[in-house]
């Protein structure tokens, strides 16, 4: 397979207009089963039950959008473009994004199954089309929990990645990002354009108010197809079946600390 | 035969035990021949540790000054250069591996299998989705490099009786300058690491304040345990984010896990379900944590924590 396009190290792309400001931020909004829903595996193992289930913006993507809006509101960016990929139903999530404050939205309309690499290719095509300087994404989607797309986009775009961000400071043509890592916090500096993925502590997303929902109806929401972007939805990894997780059995209940200590001793744990 | 390259996680001086757990996972693939790659500015001690892991054929070292405090954008091109000839490239599903491996995968023009919890075949695996509410069986193409992260809580640490060969690898690829490490701030380093600790005590929002977490610290001291937390406790500002356990935090598998004042949302449970024994202390008898607890104590944590600490000291 030809992957020469992604292996070479190329010089950084020039900033749009050479200004000291980020011109355009692209934010990804994935439509996912709501955080509060406890999904059930279908009895035939063909998937999880999503019929009639509440759908929402992936919570990490909402944090990414909030960060993009704050960057724009500080005068450090001109435009925030919200992007979703999927069926027409994903318009709901884009309208919510517009109501939060995104300037416009793009729905990449497809009914095909997608995976991290295909989605990264879609975003790369959009980034090139739009000339974005910054892509803000959630660190993971709470449906497939893969946590790969931002890193893959950065790789094939040949640009920096700052994953699991808990603080983002834009300074001219660079961003200083504090990352939540297993050992604590790590700070890196990246040249823009770059991909940043949001962790939980980056910010608390704003609530959408009714007048904003009305205003959002007038904002542009464009649709493009995979063909328009020249991307094919070839999946390399297939999900063949699904099953519920192995259950842990409910154990014993003890009355007091003495009972707890003796139960721990019985198990040889203390 | 599967030729497997495992990317070692380390802090510059010692090997993170999750690396060994990746070896255990890889050993489940038929005909596995396992090499470990150490990217470092000076690999000596870390490579020596990796060479002791049972099941490792060879430890490769890629020593470059840029590999001190390296970031994924600099590590990935080296891994890609050295991945040639390997059928599988694996890393741990920690923040290190989650950052690096997808970048490696995309540079190799393949998708990634995230969080392997079970090996079903050389190219078929099981992985958790929806916060562990479902398990997906996945199949990857056998004619491409398989890049994956390993859910290390699903695997035991291997023995350390080996003396594998250590070889210097040629990693003279050009590295980008667009990403620079500035600094790191670690948490409480006196405590055992959450992801490898044999015992973990964790507190939830019911602790009520940062000061009250001192009660939990004392219990942890008595047990020599690591300290964890629920998202609610971190959101409330009682404890540092790196202690958060669950879907979006750490996935752990200690022998003993004691949840104090944690209600047990599914997002939390997914991070502890591989623990040997789960103990729950909560004053709400209906809390979902009791559905998975091996030993439950319905009680006011403020009343029982000092007593428990005394009893175990």
Q: Is residue B38 over pLDDT 50?
A: yes
**Two tokens at B265?**
């949302």
- Domain with A116, as residue range(s), is 17-266
Q: What is the pLDDT of residue B188?
A: 67
Q: What is the pLDDT of residue A10?
A: 45
- Nearest CA distance, B291 vs chain A (angstrom): 5
- Nearest CA distance, B54 vs chain A (angstrom): 26
Calculate the dihedral angle through the C-alpha atoms of B94, A245, A56, A207, rounding to the nearest 10 degrees.
-60
Q: Which of A189, A251, A261, A268 to mutate to test the interface with B (most CBs of B within 10 A)?
A: A251
Task: State how far the Cα of A162 lies from the Cα of A174, in Å rounded to an integer.
Answer: 12
Task: State how far the Cα of B270 lies from the Cα of B274, in Å rounded to an integer.
Answer: 8
Q: What is the number of structural domains in chain A?
A: 1
- Nearest CA distance, B297 vs chain A (angstrom): 5
On whether residue B210 sits in a domain, the answer given is: yes
Considering B112, B146, B168, which residue would you say is the last residue of a domain?
Answer: B168
Q: Show Cβ contacts of residue A262 under 8 Å, excluding neighbours closer than 6 positions.
A: none
Q: Of A152, A128, A130, A171, which is closest to residue A237 (Cα–Cα)?
A: A152
Same domain flag for B9 and B157: yes
Q: What is the number of structural domains in chain B?
A: 2
Mean pLDDT, range B47-67, rounded to an integer: 97
Q: What is the pLDDT of residue A20?
A: 59
Task: Give the pTM.
Answer: 0.93
Cβ-contact B132, B25 below 8 angstroms: no
Same domain flag for B140 and B203: no
On whether residue B289 sits in a domain, the answer given is: yes
Same domain flag for B121 and B212: no
On whether residue B188 sits in a domain, the answer given is: no
**Two tokens at A214?**
């009305």
Q: Is residue A248 over pLDDT 90?
A: no
Q: Is residue B196 over pLDDT 90?
A: no
Nearest-5° angle of CA B292, CA A60, CA A217?
130
CB contacts, 8 Å: B290 with chain A = 250, 253
Chain segment B111-147, per-residue pLDDT in tens: 999 999 999 999 999 999 999 999 999 999 999 999 9
Q: Which of B11, B13, B73, B122 to mutate to test the interface with A (most CBs of A within 10 A)?
A: B73
On whether residue B183 sits in a domain, the answer given is: no
On whether residue A51 sits in a domain, the answer given is: yes
Answer yes or no: do B131 and A145 touch at CB < 8 A: yes
On whether residue B45 sits in a domain, the answer given is: yes
Task: State how far the Cα of A247 lies from the Cα of B160, in Å rounded to an integer.
Answer: 32
Same domain flag for B94 and B206: no
Minimum mean pLDDT range among A20-24, A46-50, A152-156, B304-308: A20-24
Same domain flag for B269 and B154: no
Answer yes or no: do B298 and A161 touch at CB < 8 A: no
CB contacts, 8 Å: A162 with chain B = 179
Answer yes or no: do A182 and B312 touch at CB < 8 A: no
DSSP code of residue B233:
H
Chain segment B234-250, per-residue pLDDT in tens: 999 999 999 999 998 99
Q: What is the pLDDT of residue A166?
A: 97
Mean pLDDT, range B200-207, rounded to an integer: 98
Mean pLDDT, range A143-170, rounded to an integer: 97
Mean pLDDT, range A36-60, rounded to an integer: 95
Same domain flag for B7 and B53: yes
- Nearest CA distance, B263 vs chain A (angstrom): 15
CATH number (domain holding residue B287): 3.40.50.1220
On whether residue B267 sits in a domain, the answer given is: yes
On whether residue A33 sits in a domain, the answer given is: yes
DSSP code of residue B254:
-
**Two tokens at B155?**
């695997």
Cβ-contact B192, B257 below 8 angstroms: no
Q: What is the mean pLDDT of chain B?
A: 96
Same domain flag for B258 and B205: yes
Answer yes or no: do A189 and B180 touch at CB < 8 A: yes
On whether residue A7 sits in a domain, the answer given is: no
Per-residue HEC secondary structure of B165-200 comes to: EEEECCCCCCCCCCEEEEEEEECCCCCCCCCCCCEE
Considering B115, B150, B168, which residue would you say is the last residue of a domain?
Answer: B168
Same domain flag for B6 and B124: yes
CATH number (domain holding residue B63): 3.40.50.620
On whether residue B189 sits in a domain, the answer given is: no
Mean pLDDT, range B74-97, rounded to an integer: 97
Answer yes or no: do B137 and A39 touch at CB < 8 A: no
ipTM computed for the complex: 0.94
Q: Is residue B232 over pLDDT 70?
A: yes
DSSP code of residue B238:
S
On whether residue A101 sits in a domain, the answer given is: yes
Chain segment A190-242, per-residue pLDDT in tens: 999 999 999 999 999 999 999 999 999 999 999 999 999 999 998 999 999 99
- Domain with B285, as residue range(s), is 199-312
Cβ-contact B280, B230 below 8 angstroms: no
Tell me the C-alpha to C-alpha distance, in Å, between residue A55 and each of A31, B155, B231.
Answer: 6, 34, 22
On whether residue A9 sits in a domain, the answer given is: no
Same domain flag for B128 and B219: no
On whether residue A12 sits in a domain, the answer given is: no
Q: Which of A182, A205, A265 to mutate to test the interface with B (most CBs of B within 10 A)?
A: A182
Tell me the C-alpha to C-alpha distance, in Å, between residue A171 and each of A131, A168, A264, B184.
Answer: 19, 10, 54, 20
CB contacts, 8 Å: B232 with chain A = none
Partner-chain residue, chosen from A120, A245, A260, that has the shortest CB–CB distance to B134: A245
Same domain flag for B214 and B115: no
H or E element that contains A242: strand A238-243
Partner-chain residue, chosen from B76, B175, B292, that has the shortest CB–CB distance to A155: B76
CATH number (domain holding residue A175): 3.40.50.620
Same domain flag for B33 and B132: yes
Partner-chain residue, chosen from B98, B281, B296, that has the shortest CB–CB distance to A251: B296
- Nearest CA distance, A134 vs chain B (angstrom): 14
CB contacts, 8 Å: A260 with chain B = 279, 281, 295, 297, 308
Same domain flag for B42 and B117: yes
On whether residue A225 sits in a domain, the answer given is: yes
10 Å CB burial of residue A46 (0-12, 13-18, 19+) is exposed
On whether residue B192 sits in a domain, the answer given is: no
In the block, tokens 């896990």 appear at B257
> Which strands sit side by side in the sheet containing A22-28, from one edge to the other?
A221-225, A104-109, A77-86, A22-28, A134-138, A194-198, A161-171, A174-181, A184-191, B179-186
On whether residue A169 sits in a domain, the answer given is: yes
Minimum mean pLDDT range among A6-10, A74-78, A112-116, B151-155: A6-10
Nearest-5° angle of CA A78, CA A81, CA A82?
150
Q: What is the pLDDT of residue B244?
A: 97
Answer yes or no: do B80 and A7 touch at CB < 8 A: yes
- Nearest CA distance, B83 vs chain A (angstrom): 13
Mean pLDDT, range B6-26, rounded to an integer: 97
Q: Is residue A7 over pLDDT 70?
A: no
């Amino acid at each position: 397979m030809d992957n020469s396009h992604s292996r070479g190290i190329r010089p950084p792309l020039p900033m749009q207009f050479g200004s000291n400001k980020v011109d355009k931020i692209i934010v990804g909004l994935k439509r996912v089963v709501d955080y509060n829903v406890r999904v059930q595996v279908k009895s035939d193992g063909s998937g999880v039950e999503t019929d009639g289930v509440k759908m929402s913006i992936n919570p990490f993507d909402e944090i990414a959008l909030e960060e993009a809006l704050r960057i724009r509101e500080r005068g450090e960016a001109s435009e925030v473009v919200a992007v979703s990929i999927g069926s027409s139903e994903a318009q709901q999530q884009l309208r919510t994004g517009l109501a939060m404050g995104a300037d416009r939205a793009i729905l990449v309309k497809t009914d095909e199954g997608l995976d991290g690499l295909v989605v990264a290719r879609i975003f790369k095509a959009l980034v090139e089309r739009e000339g974005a300087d910054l892509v803000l994404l959630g660190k993971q989607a709470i449906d497939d929990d893969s946590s790969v797309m931002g890193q893959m986009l950065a790789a094939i775009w040949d640009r920096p990645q700052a994953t699991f961000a808990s603080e983002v400071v834009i300074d001219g043509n660079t961003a200083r990002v504090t990352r939540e890592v297993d050992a604590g916090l790590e700070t890196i500096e990246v040249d823009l354009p770059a991909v940043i993925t949001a962790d939980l502590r980056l910010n608390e997303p704003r609530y959408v108010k009714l007048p904003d929902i009305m205003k959002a109806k007038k904002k542009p929401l464009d649709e493009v197809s995979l063909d328009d972007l020249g991307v094919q939805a070839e999946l390399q990894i297939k999900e063949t079946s699904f099953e519920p997780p192995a259950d842990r059995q409910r154990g014993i209940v003890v009355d007091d600390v003495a009972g707890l200590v003796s139960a721990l001793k019985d198990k040889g744990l203390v | 035969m599967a030729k497997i390259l495992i990317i070692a996680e380390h802090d510059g001086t010692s090997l993170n035990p999750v690396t060994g757990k990746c070896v255990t996972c890889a050993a489940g693939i038929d005909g596995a021949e396992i090499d470990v790659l150490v990217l470092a500015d000076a690999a000596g001690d870390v490579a020596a540790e990796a060479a002791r892991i049972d099941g490792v054929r060879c430890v490769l070292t890629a020593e470059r000054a840029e590999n001190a405090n390296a970031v994924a954008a600099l590590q990935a091109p080296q891994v890609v250069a050295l991945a040639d000839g390997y059928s599988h490239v694996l890393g741990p599903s920690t923040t290190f591996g989650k950052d690096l491996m997808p970048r490696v995968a995309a540079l190799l023009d393949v998708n990634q299998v995230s969080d392997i919890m079970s090996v079903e075949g050389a190219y078929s695996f099981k992985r958790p989705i929806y916060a562990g509410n479902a398990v997906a069986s996945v199949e990857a193409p056998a004619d491409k490099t398989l890049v994956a992260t390993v859910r290390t809580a699903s695997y035991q640490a291997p023995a350390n009786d080996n003396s594998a060969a250590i070889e210097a690898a040629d990693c003279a690829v050009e590295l980008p300058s667009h990403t620079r490490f500035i600094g790191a701030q670690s948490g409480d380093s006196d405590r055992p690491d959450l992801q490898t600790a044999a015992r973990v005590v964790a507190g939830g929002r019911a602790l009520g304040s940062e000061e009250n977490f001192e009660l939990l610290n004392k219990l942890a001291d008595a047990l020599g345990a690591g300290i964890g937390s629920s998202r609610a406790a971190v959101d409330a500002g009682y404890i540092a984010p790196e202690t958060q356990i669950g879907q979006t935090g750490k996935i752990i598998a200690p022998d003993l896990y004691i949840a104090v004042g944690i209600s047990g949302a599914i997002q939390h449970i997914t991070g502890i379900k591989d623990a040997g024994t789960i103990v729950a202390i909560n004053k709400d008898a209906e809390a979902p944590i009791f559905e998975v607890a091996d030993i439950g104590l319905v009680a006011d944590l403020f009343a029982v924590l000092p007593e428990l600490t005394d009893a175990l000291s």
